[in-house]
Amino acid sequence: MSWRYDVFECGNETDDHAKCEAMSGPPKECFWDARWKDAYRLAASLPHGVVESRYVGDQDYGRTPHVVFEHIDGGGICWLCREGRGPLCRTADGNRFLCDRCQKSRRQEHEQSARQRRWEPNRWLYVPIIETVDWEAQ
């Protein structure tokens, strides 16, 4: 399998990245397959960076690029409370920006619900994605 990870940098010169348009122009850098972590780290080092993934192999898979990671300095507007700002986190509803308060409350709710059902909590949920880059897959 071959996957390409394109890192785009937002050209918006202001600190307000809440209303940026889609990244345009060529990618800042491209990474292949196992170097996806390097793509995430590069995007996280930019004021506003986005990583798009696309399949480029020989199998009959879709080749439409899709955003797999986004970083905004100071965080994106919280998906839940719409007031705070925070990093991109994996949620039950997909990848969303969550402020610290909402991350913590959702994580606690998830852990409590898992305990009640005697399940193991999903360690990937409601944690900033950039913090999970070096975790081993379960």
DSSP 127: S
Find how far residue 121's CA is from the centre of its chain.
20
Q: What is the DSSP string of 59-119?
A: SS-----EEEEEEETT-EEPTTTSSSEE-EEEETTEEEE--HHHHHHHHHHHHHHHHHTT-
- For 90-132, the pLDDT digits (tens) are 999 999 999 999 999 999 999 999 999 999 999 999 999 999 9
Confidence bin at 137 (pLDDT 50/70/90): low
The continuous run of DSSP H or E covering 51 comes out as strand 48-55
CB hemisphere CA count around 131 (13 angstroms): 11
**Residue 30 identity:** C
Confidence bin at 55 (pLDDT 50/70/90): very high
pLDDT value of residue 1:
66
Q: Could you tell me the residue ranges of all domains in the chain?
A: 3-14+23-132
